[in-house]
């Protein structure tokens, strides 16, 4: 069984980050180690939440892994909340990522704006971390901030391809933009593989709804598929279809929670997709 390490925060209630990554990756038949960067009572879409920063625990945990000779088949990073965490995670990848697949989801922005507390300088530092990745999975807003280019919601295929080439120029092997569609009724992913000099686009139905945490669902499902031996293209496709099914299950539940998707109900579908 392959073993991965995912580095991101955890909310005690709230379907995002580690509370999404751990069950989805485990359902793929992959051992999921976790390195929590912070503990929150709930995620930040709630009107009130507690926050405990675990930055100072990252280095001792990394040191202990080294002493014990624990290694990983993949390292997957999600939301990182400070320059110090970027620095520590960069070191963690250097120490524990030799021969491992590195997947970075640079969670920091959407809809043309940085999340609260983030700056263009942080985006530039995140871009440096992305140079260590085999695959990065930003949305178009995050890509724009990392590259220091204007956000363009009215993109065409030529623009997306140019953006992907610039992302690959950061140093990663593959760059995949999420939330991409060229028709009103479609949404999916567009990827550029710098080693093959090839593009891949896949889209499925765009539902008339949006939910918190679907980006975390997508990235986690992608990594699970990669660890099961799927190509990058197949893994990205599987993640699109699984995320769509999660949203469908949520919309069918008239009593669904406001803070995330019913991904638990869609896990059997994900397991079938992995076969």
Token look-up 């686009």 returns 201
pLDDT digits (tens, 9 = 90+) for 20-78: 999 999 999 999 999 999 999 999 999 999 999 999 999 999 999 999 999 999 999 99
Band of the pLDDT at 243, cuts 50, 70, 90?
very high
pLDDT digits (tens, 9 = 90+) for 109-146: 999 999 999 999 999 999 999 999 999 999 999 999 99
Q: What class does CATH assign to 3-274?
A: alpha beta
Half-sphere exposure of 140 (CA within 13 A, CB side): 22
The Cα-based distances of 179 to 31, 74, 116, 153 in angstroms read 28, 24, 21, 11
Q: What is the pTM of this model?
A: 0.97
Start-to-end Cα distance in the chain: 16
Are 221 and 26 in contact, with CB atoms under 8 Å apart?
A: no
Taking the C-alpha atoms of residue 217 and residue 220, their distance in angstroms, rounded to an integer, is 5
Are 194 and 202 in contact, with CB atoms under 8 Å apart?
A: no
Name the phi and psi angles at 42, rounded to 5. Answer: -145, 165
Band of the pLDDT at 270, cuts 50, 70, 90?
very high
- Residue 122: the pLDDT is 97
Q: Which of 146, 154, 228, 158 is nearest to 190 (CA)?
A: 158
């Amino acid at each position: 069984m392959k073993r991965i390490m995912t580095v991101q925060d955890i909310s005690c209630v709230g379907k995002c980050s580690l509370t999404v990554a751990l069950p989805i990756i485990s359902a793929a038949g992959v051992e999921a180690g976790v390195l929590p960067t912070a503990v929150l009572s709930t995620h930040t879409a709630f009107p009130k939440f507690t926050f405990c920063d675990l930055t100072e625990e990252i280095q001792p945990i990394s040191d202990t892994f080294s002493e014990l000779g624990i290694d990983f088949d993949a390292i997957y990073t999600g939301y990182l909340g400070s320059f110090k965490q970027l620095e520590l995670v960069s070191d963690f990848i250097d120490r524990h990522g030799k021969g491992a697949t590195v997947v970075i989801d640079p969670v920091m922005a959407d809809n043309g704006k940085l999340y609260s507390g983030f700056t263009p300088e942080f985006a530039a530092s995140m871009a440096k971390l992305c140079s260590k990745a085999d695959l990065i999975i930003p949305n178009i807003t995050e890509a724009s901030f990392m590259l220091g280019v204007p956000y363009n919601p009215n993109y065409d295929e030529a623009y997306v391809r140019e953006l992907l080439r610039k992302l690959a120029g950061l140093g990663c092997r593959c760059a995949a933009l999420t939330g991409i569609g060229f028709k009103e009724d479609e949404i999916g992913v567009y990827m550029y593989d710098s080693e093959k000099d090839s593009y891949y686009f896949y889209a499925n139905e765009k539902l008339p709804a949006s939910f918190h945490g679907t980006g975390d669902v997508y990235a986690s499902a992608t990594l699970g598929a990669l660890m099961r031996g799927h190509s990058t293209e197949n893994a990205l496709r599987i993640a699109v279809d699984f995320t769509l099914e999660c949203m469908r299950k949520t919309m069918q539940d008239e009593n669904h929670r406001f803070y995330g998707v019913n991904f638990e109900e869609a896990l059997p579908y994900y397991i079938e997709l992995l076969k």
